[in-house]
Amino acid sequence: MSIAENLKFLRKKAGYTQEQFAKELGIKRSLVGAYEEGRAEPRLQNLSKISKVLNVTVDGLIVGDQTTLKSIKFQKEKIKILPITMDKQENENIELIHQKASAGYLNGFSDPEFISELPKFQLPMLAKNATYRAFEIEGDSMLPLTPGSIVVGKYIDSVTDIKNGKTYVLITLNEGIVYKRIFNYLNDRDKLYLVSDNQAYSAYEIAPEDVEEIWEARAFISIDFPDPEASEEISIDKLTDIVLDIQKNVIGLKDELKGKR
């Protein structure tokens, strides 16, 4: 894919006319036309400007195929280019960001090449009309989910869509990747409040402009099974009673069958 094709595709997806885009870059509209028609190639200074305006890496413009990306408006006027990958049947993959890749994701979440190299999988029970990503969580702030659990999130394109009390994975400028229960107070105080399920951790607030990506938690994967002793709703004694009831029912059925014979 050429720079010309990438530039034209991303400029249109971002909602710019050639005239508007030229004003953003501080160049003539005719030069934008020349770039898109392949009659001229942007110099490094203009490439850097283009990458910032379109929120894509310079490498992505030069060697990537941006036509496979999903372009989404994010946080009101902020434009977000969300790279995705697809399988052979053109179903979107779920890319996994494990703990070792977390630091890289903070720098490369808009880089198609970085996203393409992440592990990928699919969960057939999830709705097809959405984009999902999976994040390996660390720390014990969200017990009973244990460190190493994987949270699968659905992409949300605006902070205004965050619902009070639901859990989300946020990609933030200052906190990195966090998985928290969020309360939306944008209308009252222009803040989001992040709360841990583990009460040993204090809640804190962040500004909406600090949020780069929002993923609503829709599923989790863990190799640690829930501990019944840690549950308030069910105890070992209750489980024992359930098992005894099942055993009584089975014995009763056996006796009933013997009587019929």
How does pLDDT run across 167-205, given as a tens digit for each residue? Answer: 999 999 888 999 999 998 888 888 999 999 988 898 899
Cα(22)–Cα(203) distance, integer angstroms: 44
Domain that holds residue 144: 94-221
Q: Indicate whether 120 and 210 sit together in one domain.
A: yes
Residue 254: inside a domain: yes
- pLDDT > 70: percent of the chain: 79
Q: Indicate whether 208 and 103 sit together in one domain.
A: yes
pTM, full prediction:
0.61
Task: Note the pLDDT of residue 244.
Answer: 60
Q: In the 3-class helix/strand/coil scheme, how is 50-81 assigned residue by residue?
A: HHHHHCCCHHHHHHCCHHHCEEEECCCCCEEE
Q: Indicate whether 52 and 122 sit together in one domain.
A: no
- For the ranges 56-60, 116-120, 123-127, 228-232, which has the lowest average pLDDT? 228-232
Q: Indicate whether 176 and 243 sit together in one domain.
A: no
Q: Indicate whether 24 and 98 sit together in one domain.
A: no
Confidence of residue 246 (pLDDT cuts 50, 70, 90): low
- pLDDT > 90: percent of the chain: 34
What mean pLDDT, rounded, does the chain reach? 82
Task: Report the CATH number at residue 25.
Answer: 1.10.260.40
Task: Note the pLDDT of residue 84.
Answer: 86
Q: Indicate whether 99 and 216 sit together in one domain.
A: yes
Q: Is the pLDDT of residue 97 over 70?
A: yes
Residue 74: inside a domain: no
Q: Indicate whether 35 and 13 sit together in one domain.
A: yes
Of the two residues 206 and 44, the one the predictor is more confident about is 206
Q: Indicate whether 189 and 138 sit together in one domain.
A: yes
Q: Indicate whether 114 and 130 sit together in one domain.
A: yes
Q: Is the pLDDT of residue 76 over 50?
A: no
Q: How many domains does the chain have?
A: 3
Residue 79: inside a domain: no
Residue 9: inside a domain: yes
Task: Report the CATH number at residue 216.
Answer: 2.10.109.10
Q: Indicate whether 246 and 208 sit together in one domain.
A: no
Cα(198)–Cα(144) distance, integer angstroms: 8
Task: Note the pLDDT of residue 234.
Answer: 43
Task: Note the pLDDT of residue 152.
Answer: 97
Q: Indicate whether 236 and 180 sit together in one domain.
A: no
Residue 197: inside a domain: yes
Q: Indicate whether 26 and 103 sit together in one domain.
A: no
